[in-house]
């Protein structure tokens, strides 16, 4: 497989990232660790460069969702920042991500020092991202082709779980694969918009759920493709 990577980062893109981080702050992101991470990662490399190339310069660092191939989108930077902030990552956290997509969120988690396991159900995206992430220096994530509804029992428990597709309900398997004190961040709903939910596991049977604002995600689908 051939993946074209433009390395025209520096200056131009760095300036754009600085402005993006300012926007994220204005929209309410306060975690300096999250902001520093977004400032560092070359988001423009993550798009489907065959379809998005002409728009790349203008859109890579605007707060927009963009195509990453296979009919999927990379989440808005604000969404990535918001979910990551809610995960409250500390170095060494074992994190499960559902919906690897282009790997941008995976890179954010790696950059923050997490040990990342990420599941993608679309073969095309899985194959592409598995090659792409190490190519741009993000090694060490365990990427799995599979169905996120089931989680990853063989690697459980996880300190944190992040779902990056719209789930119609909270998958029981994900709750059971969290440590006590663990956090699940998941957008819930089947309509155009979903509500971000943060669930903290208090004991084997007790959970505290908090709902936040509305977001837009592609649907979390059953089974592999
Ligand atoms: N975190 C990604 C977001 C991609 S969009 C990024 O930073 O780019 C959501 C992704 O979830 C899509 O790639 C979609 O194929 C995937 N997805 C949807 N349902 C899934 C499931 N049941 N298991 C694993 N991945 C799923």
pLDDT of residue 1: 45
In a mutational test of the pocket of ligand 1, which residue from 64, 101, 118, 129 has the highest number of ligand atoms less than 8 Å from its CB?
101
Q: Per the domain annotation, does 105 fall within a domain?
A: yes
Give the residue, by CA position, lying nearest to ligand 1 atom 20. 220
The alpha carbon of 86 and the centre of ligand 1 are apart by a number of angstroms equal to 19
Q: Is any atom of ligand 1 closer than 6 Å to the C-beta of 101? A: yes
Cα 99 to ligand 1 centre (Å)? 3
Assign 113 to helix, strand or coil.
Answer: coil
Residues 6+ apart with CB under 8 A from 59: 52, 66
**Tens-digit pLDDT string for the chain (225 aa):** 445 555 555 677 888 899 999 999 999 999 999 999 999 998 888 876 555 555 555 677 777 767 777 777 778 999 999 999 999 999 999 999 999 999 999 999 999 999 999 999 999 999 999 999 999 999 999 999 999 999 999 999 999 999 999 999 999 999 999 999 999 999 999 999 999 999 999 999 999 999 999 999 999 999 877
Residue 47 lies in a domain: yes
The backbone torsions φ and ψ at residue 120, rounded to the nearest 5 degrees and listed phi first, read -130, 135
Other C-beta atoms closer than 10 Å to the C-beta of 18 total 11
Let me know if residue 111 belongs to a domain: yes
Backbone angles phi, psi at 60, to 5 degrees: -55, -35
What positions carry a catalytic annotation?
75
Domain with 189 in it: what CATH number? 3.40.50.150
In a domain, 162, yes or no: yes
Class of residue 49 by CB neighbours under 10 A (exposed 0-12, middle 13-18, buried 19+): middle
Q: Please tell me the pTM assigned to this model.
A: 0.93
186: domain range? 7-215
- Total number of domains constituting the chain: 1
Is the minimum distance from the CB of 68 to ligand 1 under 6 angstroms? yes
User: From the CA of 121, how far away is ligand 1's center (Å)?
Assistant: 7
Pairing mode, strands 115-120 and 142-145: parallel
| Tokens (6 digits) for 9 | 């980062």
């Amino acid at each position: 497989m051939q993946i074209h990577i433009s390395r025209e980062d520096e200056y131009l893109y760095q300036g754009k990232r600085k402005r993006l981080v300012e926007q994220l702050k204005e929209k309410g992101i306060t975690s300096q660790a999250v902001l520093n991470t977004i400032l560092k990662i070359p988001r423009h490399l993550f798009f489907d460069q065959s379809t998005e190339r002409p728009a790349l310069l203008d859109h890579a660092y605007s707060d927009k969702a963009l195509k990453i191939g296979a009919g999927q989108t990379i989440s808005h930077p604000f969404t990535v920042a918001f979910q990551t902030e809610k995960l409250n990552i500390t170095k060494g956290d074992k994190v499960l991500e559902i919906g690897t997509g282009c790997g941008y969120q995976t890179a954010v988690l790696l950059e923050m020092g997490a040990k990342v396991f990420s599941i993608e159900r679309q073969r095309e995206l899985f194959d592409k991202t598995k090659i792409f992430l190490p190519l741009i220096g993000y090694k060490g994530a365990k990427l799995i082709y599979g169905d996120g509804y089931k989680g990853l029992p063989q690697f459980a428990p996880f300190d944190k779980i992040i779902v990056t597709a719209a789930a119609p309900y909270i998958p029981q398997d994900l709750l059971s694969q969290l440590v006590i004190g663990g956090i699940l961040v998941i957008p819930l709903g089947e309509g155009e918009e979903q509500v971000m939910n943060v669930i903290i596991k208090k004991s084997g049977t007790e959970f505290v759920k908090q709902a936040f604002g509305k977001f837009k995600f592609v649907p979390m689908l059953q089974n592999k493709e």
